[in-house]
Amino acid sequence: MRIGVLAVQGDVREHLNALERLGVAAMPVLKPGDLAGLKGIVLPGGESTAMWRLMQATGLAEALKRELSGGLPAFGTCAGMILLAKRITNWKETFLGLLDIAVERNATGRQVDSFEERLSVDGLGEVPAVFIRAPLVVEVGPGVEVLARWAGRPVLVRQGRILAASFHPELTQDTRVHEYFLSVCRKE
């Protein structure tokens, strides 16, 4: 099974390392052709507008949206969640717009306000979560399952073959959230 990691900007290496620790062939995705043969893709944390502009410049934005609309599983973390969201409450544009949630960008504050929490995740137990300028989900659509909350707000959600986290599981040694994503990728 080959899993891609969107590699235009952000914490790409950390996701590649987490997937490799799980014995998965992980590869960076920089251009549309890199999507061929993937069983899933991770959209990492970073800066969502910079990522989007780079994806548009290479044609990756349109190709990725087409693949995701066709059923390619995706796991977005932090900025990746923003890229996937149907609505961003405090930003003028929407990016991929495939996950039926509304998010608020940078809802947990500035970089200096970063923190780590332990979250109770449905089916996984207690999981460490690193929040860095994290988006928070302010609305979920009817087909979205909330898997974890922080301060009463959804921070890990799933809609079909799309998983999204406000936090950075790749910055911990705990790989259970990545394992959960791989289980989504294995289901045909």
Task: Give the separation between CA 120 and CA 51, rounded to whole angstroms.
Answer: 30
Read off the DSSP letter of residue 35: G
Q: Please enumerate in sequence order all residues whose Cβ is within 8 A of that of 131, keeping only pairs 6 or more positions apart, or say none.
A: 108, 114, 115, 116, 117, 150, 166, 167, 168
Catalytically annotated residues: 78, 168, 170
Is the CB of residue 84 less than 8 Å from the CB of residue 165?
A: no
